[in-house]
């Protein structure tokens, strides 16, 4: 077995003959969004004891055991960037993504210059440094042209998305549409949606189409989309494109 400190819970369903992944007991610390890709063989050999405790209970236990981390301050940063300098990290490891380039409107007109596409995400408004009459938001990232595309807020809304590399946990795949709550970012609120089987609508044979119950903003290709049924993780994949 491998034991990890992730806040999530693993259980076994003998009726299905499958391991299940569930949200942590402490909803504020739940980390299932980043664990949706675990497959059955991995889930069978992982222990996640922290998932059954709140963070306060974990700190109390650590104190009782005399562990020095009992009073360690909370960290929201990425563990492999110890100085929290993300721009330096990207310049070192992904230099092609931090070259300055044009900021364009939908007609292709140059409105300004960006610092590198790695520093922007769909729906972003801050940091564009544009003097315009109405607020503009990032609505597209064109890697081929090294360009950021901007437009009005309503252009950040999507009716759904297509996801690839989907991993299902309670079952192998789906053959009929299913209702699910979905998250498109780690800290985003859940949104009700319908997930369609591979090949439906605008999805290819190895993709799934997700239709939102209402238009949703900031759908970003490359981010994960994770499907939930209550506290149970159904699965997830990588956002390929928005609809």
Cα separation of 39 and 20, whole Å?
Answer: 10
Tens digits of per-residue pLDDT, 45-89? 999 999 999 988 998 999 999 998 888 877 666 777 777 788 888
Distances (CA, A) of 124 to 83, 134, 148, 157, 219: 24, 14, 11, 12, 11
pLDDT confidence of residue 103: 96
Segment 212-227 shows an average pLDDT of 94
User: Which of the pair, 114 or 90, is modelled with greater confidence?
Assistant: 114
Q: Count the neighbouring beta carbons within 10 Å of the beta carbon of residue 32.
A: 24
196, 177 contact by CB (below 8 A): yes
Burial tier of 14 (Cβ tally within 10 Å: 0-12, 13-18, 19+)? exposed
157, 217 contact by CB (below 8 A): yes
Res. 222 pLDDT band, cuts 50 70 90: very high
Q: Give the list of residues 6+ apart from residue 93 with CB closer than 8 angstroms, or none.
A: none
Residue 88 phi, psi (nearest 5)? -60, -45
Using the predicted structure, report yes or no on whether residue 190 has a pLDDT greater than 90: yes
| pTM for this model (two decimals) | 0.88
196, 210 contact by CB (below 8 A): yes
CA contacts within 13 A on the Cβ side of 133: 0
pLDDT confidence of residue 243: 93
Tens digits of per-residue pLDDT, 121-173? 999 999 899 988 899 999 999 999 999 999 999 999 999 999 999 999 999 99
Per the DSSP assignment, residues forming a β-bridge with 195 are 178, 210
Mean pLDDT (the chain, rounded): 93
């Amino acid at each position: 077995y491998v034991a990890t400190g992730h806040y999530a819970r693993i259980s076994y369903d003998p009726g299905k003959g499958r391991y299940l992944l569930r949200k942590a007991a402490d909803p504020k610390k739940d980390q299932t969004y980043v664990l949706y890709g675990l497959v059955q063989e991995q889930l069978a050999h992982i222990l996640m004891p922290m998932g059954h405790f709140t963070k306060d209970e974990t700190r109390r236990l650590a104190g009782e055991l005399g562990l020095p981390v009992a009073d360690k301050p909370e960290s929201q940063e990425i563990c492999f960037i110890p100085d929290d300098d993300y721009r330096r990290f990207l310049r070192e490891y992904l230099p092609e993504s931090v070259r300055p380039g044009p900021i364009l409107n939908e007609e292709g007109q140059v409105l300004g210059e960006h610092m590198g596409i790695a520093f922007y995400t769909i729906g972003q408004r801050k940091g564009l440094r544009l003097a315009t009459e109405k607020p503009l938001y990032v609505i597209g990232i064109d890697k081929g042209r090294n360009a950021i595309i901007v437009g009005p807020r309503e252009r950040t809304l999507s009716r759904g998305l297509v996801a690839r590399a989907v991993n299902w946990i309670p079952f192998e795949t789906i053959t009929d549409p299913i209702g699910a709550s979905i998250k498109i970012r780690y800290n985003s609120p859940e949104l009700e949606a319908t997930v369609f089987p591979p090949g439906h609508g605008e999805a290819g044979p190895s993709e799934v189409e997700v239709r939102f119950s209402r238009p949703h903003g900031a759908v970003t290709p490359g981010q994960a989309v994770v499907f939930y049924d209550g506290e149970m993780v159904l699965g997830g994949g990588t956002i390929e494109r928005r609809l």
